[in-house]
Structure 1
Amino acid sequence: MLPEDQLDQEPDLVAYRLPDTPDMPIVPAPVQRTWWDAAPLRYAYRCLPLLMANQNGWWILNDNTFTVRWNGGASTSALSVRYTDGEADRRQAMSHFGHGILTFHVPYLFRTPPGWNLLVRGPANLPKDGAHPLEGLVETDWAVATFTMNWKITRPDADIVFEAGEPLLMLLPQRRGELERFHPAHAPISRMPDAGDHRAWHDSRMAFAHEMLAADPSVAADMWQRHYMRGTHPAAAEPFPAHQRRLLLRDFTVPPPSGTPGEEEAAR
């Protein structure tokens, strides 16, 4: 648990760049997904929980296009990595663990404030055919070792391409011990304090579904209640005060050049 005086502070997330490593940018995860854009009427953009999850962290982007191929074997030699530019000295991806695991060396050592971990996972809502990202939870407030990002290749004897600029992982800071503070419990819906509001929503939803079935298909495609998107429900005219429709994550800033007056003063 964090001390009370630290709960309202804006925490820092610092990525210390390792020397002689390729440029792998860290960017706020965007709301857009290309495969959503290609879907009929872009329906996924109507789902606010999906939109929020898309933006819930920072991406680290791939620096060079490469192709992975796994023959289904358990040895490290069973998986090959072939870079398009052929620069072997710049390879961040390799077969290190065997069993079809593709490992990326992350060129940063991250530091979070005391009591903060870093959840390292695949990009949200961005499926990749033939490969699945593995997740890790790192205590980045003290660890002096870097971590790797690992993907499990799921399709043997197929070329899996990772494009330059493609996100390889997603970073999400988490307070240590926060999940363990919860007291999970079951209860019947009748005991919920605002169960009447849920019933009003349910009835409204059922009526809306019947309207859609009866409407002309060209009109039904544009019908959308938008209650959750607006932060309201049938029994509430005003939006929930803390309702969010997007996240505004900050960019990683660039430090001043070495030896600037401010840096020299801080070093004293």
Structure 2
Amino acid sequence: MKLISYTLGFPPTEMRPGPAQRPWMDSTSDRFAYRCLPLNIANQYGWELLCPCSFEVTWDGGPSPDAMVVEILEDGWPHPTSHFGHGVLTFHVNQIFRTEPGTQLMTTGPMNNPKDGIAALSGIIETDWSHYTFTMNWVMTRAFHPVRFQKGEPFAHIFPVNLAAIEQIKPEFQPYETEDKLKESYEAWQDSRNNFNQELEIPDSQARKDKWQKAYFQGLGPDAKPTQKARHWTKLDVQPWPGSKAKKK
């Protein structure tokens, strides 16, 4: 599958594969946040777009575009702007992305990387036909609270999606007894989890030494055997953009 970024006669936005690391995850006790494999995989699922400049933005709570002030601290192009008003900060993505037929592009904020005072908005672009550039937008959540972005900091995260596929999915509820061995496996896991959490309260217990249960991380079932039903990922090998100076951390 190809994802093409058509340049428009000037340098494109710097992009890199999403890194697993997050500063807030690094600062957790024993870096325990990295034990959550779904979190790690989501961080790496796609590519980050990086700020071309350092700046600080402040919003006075008003609805007009001039209610927001963007102060450039380290120059780069293009500058973020207040275009829509209502506390919306706009990043221009000055290139045209093209995906293969039937594939679209999800654009959202950096995965699992919250920022105080501002929230990323999300959009899906029909990049299998669109001839247009798009913008990445954030909305301020607090008035008179300065928010700073550093040059090279991610301001967007992109990954392919399939709109037709989501329409074909038929959600349904079923009792867990209807899938072979699911009830047995789930209850075995539940008992194991409850026992493990109880043992965590006991000094010098095996649970204290182990610190956490690793079955999901290792792709093991409650019987400690590898899953046979699907491939198991512990990291993603997302390809970098050719010639990009931005490196995956």
What TM-score results when the alignment is normalised by the length of structure 1? 0.85
Tell me the number of residue pairs that the alignment of Structure 1 and Structure 2 aligns: 242
Instruction: Please provide the CA RMSD for this pair.
Output: 2.0
Residue 34 of structure 1 aligns with which residue?
Answer: 23
Residue 137 of structure 2 aligns with which residue?
Answer: 150
Does residue 167 of structure 1 match 2:154? yes
Does residue 95 of structure 1 match 2:82? yes
Residue 128 of structure 2 aligns with which residue?
Answer: 141
- Summarize the Cα distance change of 1:86–1:119 in structure 2 as closer, same or farther, 3 Å threshold: closer
**Cα deviations by residue, 1:162-182 (Å, 9 ceiling, x for unpaired):** 111110100010123111111
Post-superposition shift, 1:219? 7.2
Residue 209 of structure 1: SS of its match in structure 2? helix
Post-superposition shift, 1:41? 1.1
Runs of 4+ in 1 over 4 A off after TM superposition: 216-219
Post-superposition shift, 1:208? 1.0
Post-superposition shift, 1:123? 0.7
Quote the Cα distance in structure 1 between the aligned partners of 2:232 and 2:157: 24
Q: Do the aligned partners of 2:63 and 2:86 also contact (CA within 8 Å) in 1? A: yes
- Write the letter of the residue equivalent to 2:52: D
Quote the Cα distance in structure 1 between the aligned partners of 2:82 and 2:223: 56
Residue 19 of structure 1 aligns with which residue?
Answer: 9
Quote the Cα distance in structure 1 between the aligned partners of 2:115 and 2:201: 35
- Summarize the Cα distance change of 1:217–1:160 in structure 2 as closer, same or farther, 3 Å threshold: farther
**Cα deviations by residue, 1:70-104 (Å, 9 ceiling, x for unpaired):** 000000000111101467xx343000000000001
Give the alignment partner of residue 201 of structure 1, picking from 186, 189, 193. 189
**Cα deviations by residue, 1:83-136 (Å, 9 ceiling, x for unpaired):** 01467xx34300000000000110211011111100000111000001100000
Structure 1: stretches of 5+ with no match in the other structure: 1-10, 256-268
Give the alignment partner of residue 175 of structure 2, picking from 188, 193, 201. 188
Does residue 229 of structure 1 match 2:217? yes
Quote the Cα distance in structure 2 between the aligned partners of 1:153 and 1:207: 44
Post-superposition shift, 1:209? 1.2
Once the two structures are overlaid, the 10-residue window that deviates more, 159-168 or 232-241, is: 232-241
**Cα deviations by residue, 1:29-55 (Å, 9 ceiling, x for unpaired):** 000111111111111100101111110
What TM-score results when the alignment is normalised by the length of structure 2? 0.91
Residue 131 of structure 1 aligns with which residue?
Answer: 118
Structure with larger RCO (C-alpha < 8 A, sep 6+): 2
Quote the Cα distance in structure 2 between the aligned partners of 1:103 and 1:234: 47
Residue 106 of structure 1 aligns with which residue?
Answer: 93
Identity %, equivalent residues: 39
Structure 2: stretches of 5+ with no match in the other structure: 245-249
- Write the letter of the residue equivalent to 2:70: V
Quote the Cα distance in structure 1 between the aligned partners of 2:208 and 2:55: 44
Residue 83 of structure 1 aligns with which residue?
Answer: 72
Q: Bigger radius of gyration, 1 or 2? A: 1
- Write the letter of the residue equivalent to 1:212: L
- Summarize the Cα distance change of 1:66–1:41 in structure 2 as closer, same or farther, 3 Å threshold: same
- Write the letter of the residue equivalent to 1:203: D
Quote the Cα distance in structure 2 between the aligned partners of 1:12 and 1:32: 26
Residue 106 of structure 2: SS of its match in structure 1? strand
Quote the Cα distance in structure 1 between the aligned partners of 2:219 and 2:126: 35
Q: Do the aligned partners of 1:92 and 1:106 also contact (CA within 8 Å) in 2? A: no
